[in-house]
Amino acid sequence: MAAGAAEAAAAVVEVGSTRQFEELLRLTAKSLLVVHFWAPWAPQCAQMNDVMAELAKEHPQVSFVKLEAEAVPEVSEKYEISSVPTFLFFKNSQKIDRLDGAHAPELTKKVQRHASSGSFPPSGHEHPKEDLNLRLKKLTHAAPCMLFMKGTPQEPRCGFSKQMVEILHKHNIQFSSFDIFSDEEVRQGLKTYSNWPTYPQLYVSGELIGGLDIIKELEASDELDTICPKAPKLEERLKVLTNKASVMLFMKGNKQEAKCGFSKQILEILNSTGVEYETFDILEDEEVRQGLKTFSNWPTYPQLYVKGELVGGLDIVKELRDNGELLPVLKGEN
């Protein structure tokens, strides 16, 4: 165990000077280099160092480097590092990607993608451009109202994004969001795509409305409410959700991965019936999680609905199964 930890630690190189960094860029030109700009005072950096040590074990062909952002300011300034943790990805001594923030799944994904992609000859770059525009079109149309911001509505990571979220919430506007820190390609590409150089950016029906100043102007002139779709009242939303499929299961997790023992058991029972059903992960939406308890007058999860009517939780479903009544109930015969 100790030997394994030592190997992992050895796999992540610590860089302490600009010269050392430039030398490393030159030496690793042929492979992927991942640099973590970190700070000893930030606990999330320590967590991401652990994640990087694990990734170093899985990807021995990739070079992983830790660079204390404030200790080597020349490098930090050159690459516009404004917060920690930030990860930069290099190939052929060129920066090819960036990730701001402590997003372990995203870091893993990017390492896997870049490690397996090899070095592309310049001619190979014609198609990805088209693909990016197609991707941006899909993203801007992903919801009737889309906000591209730094961070998430729950945890905005810049003052402008925070103000934008507050205005949208104040007007009860229903929107989805995309964290531009999670994808450097989108972050840079959207500026060109929309011809708008800063964030946040708000889109309605795939069309750019503008940034914070424009939204403030629209709010002041009472036009904001006419442009953006309103969030439905919670009760209406729950009615729609419980009727989304003939058999609806509200659970912790989803069909592929239950996140509590009761949800796992109820999935096994439903799967054994062969009846089609849909699931909703209550861990993804706190409003639904709390609201449904009142709506259905049922305090716990999972909750099973057939044609919009509550059947019950795990105990009731087990009882129906044992009495041979479950299949008729799921088919809406009872």
The span from the CA of 311 to the CA of 296, in Å, is 10
Token pair listed for 269: 């029972």
Pick from 189, 195, 225: which is nearest to 210 by CA? 195
Inter-residue contact 292 to 250 (CB < 8 Å): yes
Q: Residue 260 above 80 pLDDT?
A: yes
Q: Is 142-227 in the same CATH topology as 13-115?
A: yes
For all residues of the chain together, what is the average pLDDT? 87
Q: Which CATH architecture has domain 235-331?
A: 3-Layer(aba) Sandwich (3.40)
Gap between the Cα atoms of 48 and 1, Å rounded: 20
- The DSSP bridge partners found for residue 35 are 65, 88
pLDDT digit string, tens, across residues 56-91: 888 888 899 999 998 998 999 899 888 889 999 998
Secondary structure class of 117 (helix, strand, coil):
helix
CATH superfamily of 13-115: Glutaredoxin (3.40.30.10)
Residue ranges covered by each domain of the chain: 13-115, 142-227, 235-331
Instruction: Tell me the average pLDDT across 168-172.
Output: 89
User: Is the peptide bond between 85 and the residue preceding it cis, with omega within 30 degrees of 0?
Assistant: yes
At 327 the pLDDT is 95
Classify domain 142-227 at the CATH topology level.
Answer: Glutaredoxin (3.40.30)
The span from the CA of 260 to the CA of 253, in Å, is 8
**What is the helix (H) or strand (E) element at residue 76, kind and residue range?**
helix 73-78
According to the model, what pLDDT value does residue 129 have? 53
Phi, psi of 299 (to 5 degrees): -85, -10
The three-class DSSP label of residue 228 is: coil
DSSP letter string, 158-220 = SHHHHHHHHHHHHTTB--EEEEGGG-HHHHHHHHHHHT--SS-EEEETTEEEESHHHHHHHHH
Q: How many CA atoms lie within 13 A of 333 on its CB side?
A: 7
**124 pLDDT exceeds 50?**
no
Give the pLDDT band of residue 8 (cuts 50, 70, 90).
very low
Measured distance between the N- and C-terminal CA atoms of the chain, rounded to whole angstroms:
58
Q: Which residues contact 16 (CB under 8 A, 6 or more apart)?
A: 68, 71, 72
